[in-house]
Structure 1
Amino acid sequence: MPGDSNTPVSDSPVIRIPLLPLRDILVFPSTVVPLFVGREKSIQALEQAMASNKEILLAAQIKAKTNEPTPDDIYKVGTVSTILQLLRLPDGTVKVLVEGQRRAKIKEYVQTEEFFFVEAEELVEVPSDGVENEALLRTVKMSFDNYVRLNKRIPPEMLLSIASMDDESKLADTLVAHLNNLKLQDKQRLLEEVDPAKRLEELYGYIQSEIEIMRVEKKIRARVKRQMEKTQKEYYLNEQMQAIQKELGDRDDGRNEVSELETQIKKKKMPKEVKERLQKECKKLKQMSPMSAEATVVRNYIDTALSLPWDELSEEIRDTVFAEDVLNKDHFGLYKVKDRILEYLSVRTLVEHMKGPILCLVGPPGVGKTSLARSIASATGREFVRVSLGGVRDEAEIRGHRRTYIGSMPGKVILALKKAGKSNPLILLDEIDKLSQDFRGDPSAALLEVLDPEQNATFMDHYLDLDYDLSKVLFLATANSLHTIPGPLLDRMEVISLAGYTEEEKLSIANQYLVPKQIKDNGLTKQDVQFQPKAVRELIRYYTRESGVRSLEREVAAVLRKVARKHLRKIEEDRKAESGDDTPTKEKLILEDNIIKEKITDKSIAKYLGPRKFRIGLQNSEHEVGLCTGMAWTQVGGDLLVSEVAIIPGKGKLTITGKLGEVMQESAQAALSYVRSRAAFLDIEEDFYTKVDIHIHVPEGAIPKDGPSAGITMATALTSALTMRPVSKDVAMTGEITLRGRVLPIGGLKEKLLAAHRGGIKKVIIPIDNQKDLEDVPKNILKEVTIVPVENVDNVLMHALVWKHPDDNNSVQDELFERLKEVTEAEIGDLAFAH
């Protein structure tokens, strides 16, 4: 570091002198420099110098930003200078004019408190003579002459004084003061150099370097000047042309708009082919009359293309811990979909260029599909845009309208990117199962290219007629049902199912999210109203019947609205009684003593919402013959479905009612055929069907019902009615039936089990092939509901029908029970007994 080298010192005696630290400046011998001093210690050092011989040592600070320098912060070599003039300014600072005299090196700091007082030794310079030194002097002077010609800030008169100098040391010190671009460290190195010849050699190198830099700067200035002259010339000609055209009446002020568009195209960051296309459209626009319809179409096209984020990316958040915290904070449960999102973020962190997955969230209304998409956008740092596809039946709404008429526009995907303002947003394709089609095309087919990671990097919108890269977009889709999504479109998406919530999950969601949100939305505070958990459970059980929590939130809001109205009415009545003023104002209503304090319990819910709308559990109150509870899947989640069978004297007529679909009617016929084939085994007369009419009915006839999963339900109800053996009230079942009595697997098991749990069912019979689906069922459901996997209808009958208990000595053991026992693998301890 400068100042630490072994600089030779003189044999002169040590002098004691005040020290003034300088910031970003050095004073060389033989130079006069004005200084502004504001620090208190520096001002005291100046006063000490003025009180003695007016000499002071000037040394530079190593770091200019240091306000209170220590001896370690100051270079060791400085300049002993004479104070020529000192002037105190009104703001407390001191202006001082100093002249550098000789170099000196600090040996020791005598005082550092009030001001710096040091012991220093003068540095003796080593003079040299000869032809070489004369050549060096001439070379340096010539080089400085070239430097002055290029640097206009140095007055030419300076060359005269430089030319008359023959002293190497004085020449070097004088030239350094005029090299303004020289760094402080380089100047300090020159100050510490006591050999004038070496100092001149280093100075010559610095001057040559500055000359080269200034020559390059001169070339750049000349090139920029030529370009500016060309631009000014074009501008002048354009203005002339515009004025001529305006006089001729061919153009108006629309020309300025075209110029603005051209400027925007030049500044906009976009692919080369897009920029060329827009420049071509601008040239076309120049040749058109601004009032023509075609010019309007072209102008709108350019505006739309310029507003798109061609290569403007949001900075993605790749912190999986942060993302997990966001997802857990915004949503309760939904562990499967959260794990999938965190897996995506983990891979995205490891792989720089990753094609975005197409996730499809499928579940009943109100389970949080759309809000989950918003949370995913927040967790990944992407912009969120929702595109509603419900009822879309025109292909042009996806691919855009061709630019053949006024009012044509891009498709929903391109408009979503325009709204997001970034090329890597999260686009939610909401209600993708509600797409329609007609003579105008099939929108689902247009979505195939959008949702295919292998193709969407070159998505072509009919309006833009340019390739747009959608591979950076994270697409999410939502649907209530997979049945109405076309196969090719479904094949391009990764399906994640969101089943309904259990009662405990609904309770947690309401307490953590819904109740605080609705309290705030209805103008209340936590101090105003207390919503007890028992009241929430009352709402869940007796006022809502759904898979999600949408209706629950509406009921909570209804209760809180009535609370707010009740108390505001009381406040108004109190104010009127006190003041006699019948005109209430906001200021009169909102007072410090009008704090609402309401405790909402399970007993007070009926006061706000009326009698209970539902009864908990749809299972029968008693064991009944010919009545069996089944489980069905609907678009709003699972539900319990009762099948009834009535045996009436007749001639073998089969009647099926309840607005059943074709598949469900076929299941009823298959169930009857199975019972007829097993009549002897089941203790039924083999020709029973010739003597009786059979009526199968599924209640709630106004609701369409279809599907094969009610097959074993109908078979059990038929067997119960024909054998006069009751069906257990605590059993529900689901499964497709074959003519040979095999039980085939079904779908929607999780939703069906949630419905059975809500209905108070204790035992559920499922196909044995559906055991793998039990992994997705909440653990508390499996603990409270007994799951019985079966292979054939014989197993179903053994578990579903009510038998005499074999250990009851006062009862006669059922022979059919014994036969079923032989053909089933279930143990007696797992059976449902009548108590």
Structure 2
Amino acid sequence: MTNDIIQIPLLPLRGILVFPSMVIHLDVGRDKSVSALEKAMMEDQRIFLAAQKKVRIDDPGTEDIYRIGTVATVKQMIKLPNGTFRVLVEGKERGEIIRYVESEDEFIVEIEKLEDVRGEEHEEEALARTVLSQFEQYIKISKKIKQETLATVADIEDPGRMADIIASHLALKVREKQEILETIDVTDRLHKLLSIISNEKKVLDLEKKIGQRVRSSMEKTQKEYYLREQLKAIQKELGEKDGKSGEISQLKEEIEQSQMPEHVREAALKELSRYEKVPQSSAESAVIRNYLDWLISLPWTQKTKDNIEISQAEKILNKDHYGLEKVKERILEYLAVKKLTNSLRGPILCLVGPPGVGKTSLAKSIASAVNRKFVRISLGGVRDEAEIRGHRRTYIGAMPGRIIQGMKKAGTINPVFLLDEIDKMSNDFRGDPSAALLEVLDPEQNKNFSDHFIEETYDLSHVMFIATANNIAGIPGPLRDRMEVISIAGYTEVEKQHIAKQYLLPKQIKENGLKRSDLQIRDEALLKLIRNYTKEAGVRGLERQIAKLCRKTAKIIAAKEKKRVIITENNIEEFLGKPIFRYGLMEQEDQIGAATGLAYTTVGGDILTIEVSHYPGKGKLTLTGKLGEVMRESAQAAFSYIRSRAKELNIDPDFHEKYDIHIHVPEGAIPKDGPSAGITMATALVSALSNRKVKKEVGMTGEITLRGRVLPIGGLKEKALGAHRAGLTTIILPKDNEKDIEQIPESVREGLTFIPVKHLDEVLQHALVEEQ
């Protein structure tokens, strides 16, 4: 019954089973399987072949493999061009796995050889003849097995071996063949095989009857087919439908190859059927053809493989952009989580910041860092919902929305998709495009995005959406709620210097045909260029000025006036003319009735001097300087607070009846507004009315209530940069903004003293010069 126990490499088989005495070619590609083959070839060329219980498992465990298999000899092993191995094996005898031997590279098993259990000789002979007879009838009905096979089987004298060979030729499932392989008793094996062949014969008889019924019902269809073909030939001669049949077959083939989801494929084939029946001269024919072309050209399953190497991604981001640490850190966090889980949905990031700070180019760098396709659509000025969702096909000139167009352009289902200028969308009677974007940017809904033109749902859940905006207030609340907002503030002067030297100057030197040695810009000249010739949060204007320097240098070099141009602080005006901008500077000495406020504008931070004067009158309050409604209200609140606390502030309690007060903010042509000038106005008022000087080195920002409380503000980083540039050394800020100090660059923080305050009394204590 049993024989010796041997140790041998194991090759798991998917969807196939090898019987003893069977010679077969196998294609092997899995690493463990290749390793097992190599081990077998190095030893005695013997290998154990056992079938997997489930075909779809790519890396089977011990519980996924049948225990009874076949000991085989490897006859031949050839490496194919695609990296797999084609192996010729011959099954020798049955075997059962006793235990698995531990090995990392391949399966090694200890097996016990199994010999056939023989029954009564005459019974076996009778069963073998019956099986052979049934197999002969099966071959006649099936016509899939050659007659030569019957002759080969008939020559086999051993009933057990004959049963194995017949079983290997039958179109059975692996599970059924495994049952025969596991049947050691020859008599039982023949009984099982006889039952299987009888069942297969019944199935073939039924198939034959069904086929006859189908053929008789097809006679009418066949007739229609011939008539239709004749009609096609006539139409082709008349030039009415030339080549459409070939076009139909090509479209059908493209639909089958496009890997669409089943519901989309059914819709496409239905439209194709309509297209076949509609005359080519009909307007509807072009509409259907356009629709089919869109369905075929869209990516349904194609995706790029993410190259998730955190260090490499960090290098790419740092190479393309200086600074922006918060944004880079968020991108690297996303990549790290995706690498560990391999199932994270695409995040929806919104980069908010002034023009020219690198929001769009950062999105390109993200795509490069993760090895994805990059698609950009501009939403500036879009006011039609159909731009996002597409037009319905009932309209003339209908086409998909920009989202679907972008996916077609990308060619993959997981691109980095940039929605540029998302705050510049508007709406009118044609709908609200921002409302249409709610479905696109909702991770819970965009798996089933619906475009009016495509009609079928499209999966956007793999897309990494990045939106950009200059002003977060321009983004509707529900849309903003679906995105992770990352603020990109303006660059500091130090950062602009680095960007100019590392990125902008080399780029413009190359674009203007210069060599690196042709032009040198000294650091002090670069600082003057940044301060006096640009006034922006980003670097676009800076790049334009550097380009101007390069053009003038190119002219000098081309005219052979000089071999090299060096631009210094003294000669920069010869190239760029007189300075275009001035930046606010602190007062030279302490002033009465003038306080320095900190402002946050679209081009970064700056200082704002608020002046107050009073003269005999009847308490009239005059505000000038093109102030917005919010700043006017801040002035009224400050005025009311000072009236209520006049005695404690050493101010004449009846000042509002004796004096007219004029509050002025210089540069009256520039509109000014915002909730952060309250304490500055109050300080200037107190200074003027109490005749106390304001410290020249102090800048302040914060809103005031009627009770003197100081409320928090925004844009502290930019304001601090403006204060530092102006030469201020002390900043008074609301206590609630103390947490924002750490966002200010360390080089700026070192030169400033921050005083967090809760009440106006604290502001006055630090801002006003002490009375003698």
Say yes or no: TM over 0.5.
Answer: yes
Q: Where in structure 2 are the equivalents of 1:234-249 lying within 5 Å?
A: 240-247=230-237
What residue number does 2:484 align with? Answer: 494
CA distance in 2 between partners of 1:233 and 1:611 (Å): 91
Indicate yes or no: 2:624 matched with 1:644. Answer: no
Could you say if the C-alpha distance between residues 528 and 238 of structure 1 is closer, same or farther in structure 2, counting changes exceeding 3 Å?
farther
> In the TM superposition, what is the alpha-carbon distance from 1:393 to its structure 2 partner?
1.1
2:300 to 301, 310, 316: 310
Indicate yes or no: 2:259 matched with 1:265. Answer: no
Deviations 1:233-275 (A, max 9, x none): 9998875442123346653444443332222112111101111
> In the TM superposition, what is the alpha-carbon distance from 1:639 to its structure 2 partner?
2.7
CA distance in 2 between partners of 1:774 and 1:647 (Å): 36
Q: Where in structure 2 are the equivalents of 1:129-208 lying within 5 Å?
A: none
CA distance in 1 between partners of 2:281 and 2:589 (Å): 82
* Equivalent pair of 2:617/2:660 in contact (CA under 8 Å): yes
Indicate yes or no: 2:513 matched with 1:533. Answer: no
CA distance in 2 between partners of 1:547 and 1:279 (Å): 55
What residue number does 2:590 align with? Answer: 623
Deviations 1:362-408 (A, max 9, x none): 11112111111111111111111111111111111111111122211
What residue number does 1:768 align with? Answer: 735
Higher CA-based Rg: 1
What residue number does 2:571 align with? Answer: 604
CA distance in 2 between partners of 1:488 and 1:63 (Å): 63
Q: Where in structure 2 are the equivalents of 1:684-699 lying within 5 Å?
A: 684-699=651-666
Equivalent position amino acid for 2:252 in 1? E
CA distance in 2 between partners of 1:327 and 1:492 (Å): 25
SS of the equivalent of 2:516 reads: coil
Indicate yes or no: 2:374 matched with 1:384. Answer: yes
What residue number does 1:465 align with? Answer: 455
Equivalent position amino acid for 2:672 in 1? K
2:644 to 677, 681, 696: 677
* Equivalent pair of 2:535/2:603 in contact (CA under 8 Å): no
Report the more deviating stretch, 685-694 or 240-249: 240-249
Indicate yes or no: 2:697 matched with 1:707. Answer: no
Deviations 1:674-693 (A, max 9, x none): 11112112221111111221
CA distance in 2 between partners of 1:641 and 1:233 (Å): 91
Equivalent position amino acid for 1:661 in 2? G
Report the more deviating stretch, 433-442 or 464-473: 433-442
What residue number does 1:393 align with? Answer: 383
Q: Where in structure 2 are the equivalents of 1:362-761 lying within 5 Å?
A: 362-570=352-560, 596-761=563-728
Deviations 1:53-84 (A, max 9, x none): xxxxxxxx99999xxxxxxxxxxxxxxxxxxx
CA distance in 1 between partners of 2:515 and 2:495 (Å): 24
> In the TM superposition, what is the alpha-carbon distance from 1:609 to its structure 2 partner?
0.5
SS of the equivalent of 1:313 reads: coil
CA distance in 2 between partners of 1:204 and 1:243 (Å): 56
Equivalent position amino acid for 1:529 in 2? L
> In the TM superposition, what is the alpha-carbon distance from 1:461 to its structure 2 partner?
0.8
Report the more deviating stretch, 613-622 or 392-401: 613-622
SS of the equivalent of 1:511 reads: helix
SS of the equivalent of 1:291 reads: coil
Deviations 1:119-157 (A, max 9, x none): xxxxxxxxxxxxxxxxxxxxxxxxxxx9xxx999x9xxx
Equivalent position amino acid for 1:455 in 2? Q
> In the TM superposition, what is the alpha-carbon distance from 1:422 to its structure 2 partner?
0.7
Q: Where in structure 2 are the equivalents of 1:246-325 lying within 5 Å?
A: 246-247=236-237, 250-325=240-315
CA distance in 1 between partners of 2:265 and 2:167 (Å): 42
CA distance in 2 between partners of 1:704 and 1:600 (Å): 36
Equivalent position amino acid for 1:610 in 2? G
What residue number does 2:56 align with? Answer: none
CA distance in 1 between partners of 2:253 and 2:580 (Å): 66
CA distance in 2 between partners of 1:329 and 1:304 (Å): 38
CA distance in 2 between partners of 1:639 and 1:280 (Å): 65
Deviations 1:728-782 (A, max 9, x none): 2222111010111111111121121122222222111100111011121111211
Q: Where in structure 2 are the equivalents of 1:812-827 lying within 5 Å?
A: 813-814=771-772
CA distance in 2 between partners of 1:389 and 1:267 (Å): 34
Could you say if the C-alpha distance between residues 635 and 293 of structure 1 is closer, same or farther in structure 2, counting changes exceeding 3 Å?
farther
SS of the equivalent of 2:592 reads: coil
* Equivalent pair of 2:583/2:606 in contact (CA under 8 Å): no
Deviations 1:21-66 (A, max 9, x none): xxxxxxxxxxxxxxxxxxxxxxxxxxxxxxxxxxxxxxxx99999x
Q: Which runs of 5+ in 1 are unaligned?
A: 1-60, 66-145, 160-196, 214-222, 572-594, 804-812, 815-835
Deviations 1:322-371 (A, max 9, x none): 11111111111111111111111111112222222111111111211111
Could you say if the C-alpha distance between residues 565 and 403 of structure 1 is closer, same or farther in structure 2, counting changes exceeding 3 Å?
same
Query: How well do the aligned residues superpose, as a CA RMSD in angstroms?
Result: 3.8
* Equivalent pair of 2:313/2:370 in contact (CA under 8 Å): yes
CA distance in 1 between partners of 2:420 and 2:742 (Å): 28
Could you say if the C-alpha distance between residues 280 and 206 of structure 1 is closer, same or farther in structure 2, counting changes exceeding 3 Å?
closer
CA distance in 2 between partners of 1:427 and 1:557 (Å): 30
What residue number does 1:84 align with? Answer: none
Could you say if the C-alpha distance between residues 475 and 651 of structure 1 is closer, same or farther in structure 2, counting changes exceeding 3 Å?
same
Deviations 1:496-539 (A, max 9, x none): 11111222211112111111111111111213223333332221
Equivalent position amino acid for 1:373 in 2? A
* Equivalent pair of 2:379/2:422 in contact (CA under 8 Å): yes
Matched length: 601
> In the TM superposition, what is the alpha-carbon distance from 1:630 to its structure 2 partner?
1.1
* Equivalent pair of 2:584/2:607 in contact (CA under 8 Å): no
SS of the equivalent of 1:359 reads: strand
> In the TM superposition, what is the alpha-carbon distance from 1:670 to its structure 2 partner?
0.3
SS of the equivalent of 2:755 reads: strand
CA distance in 2 between partners of 1:417 and 1:674 (Å): 59
* Equivalent pair of 1:360/1:493 in contact (CA under 8 Å): yes
User: Given the two structures, how large is their TM-score scaled by the length of structure 2?
Assistant: 0.71
Could you say if the C-alpha distance between residues 482 and 538 of structure 1 is closer, same or farther in structure 2, counting changes exceeding 3 Å?
same
Q: Where in structure 2 are the equivalents of 1:210-229 lying within 5 Å?
A: none
Deviations 1:520-575 (A, max 9, x none): 1111121322333333222122222222222111111110111012222338xxxx
CA distance in 2 between partners of 1:343 and 1:699 (Å): 46
> In the TM superposition, what is the alpha-carbon distance from 1:293 to its structure 2 partner?
2.0
What residue number does 1:577 align with? Answer: none
* Equivalent pair of 1:459/1:468 in contact (CA under 8 Å): yes
Indicate yes or no: 2:752 matched with 1:794. Answer: no
SS of the equivalent of 2:662 reads: strand
> In the TM superposition, what is the alpha-carbon distance from 1:701 to its structure 2 partner?
2.4
CA distance in 1 between partners of 2:480 and 2:320 (Å): 28
CA distance in 1 between partners of 2:372 and 2:596 (Å): 48
CA distance in 1 between partners of 2:169 and 2:256 (Å): 36
CA distance in 2 between partners of 1:210 and 1:459 (Å): 50
CA distance in 2 between partners of 1:509 and 1:602 (Å): 19
Equivalent position amino acid for 2:627 in 1? L
SS of the equivalent of 2:296 reads: helix
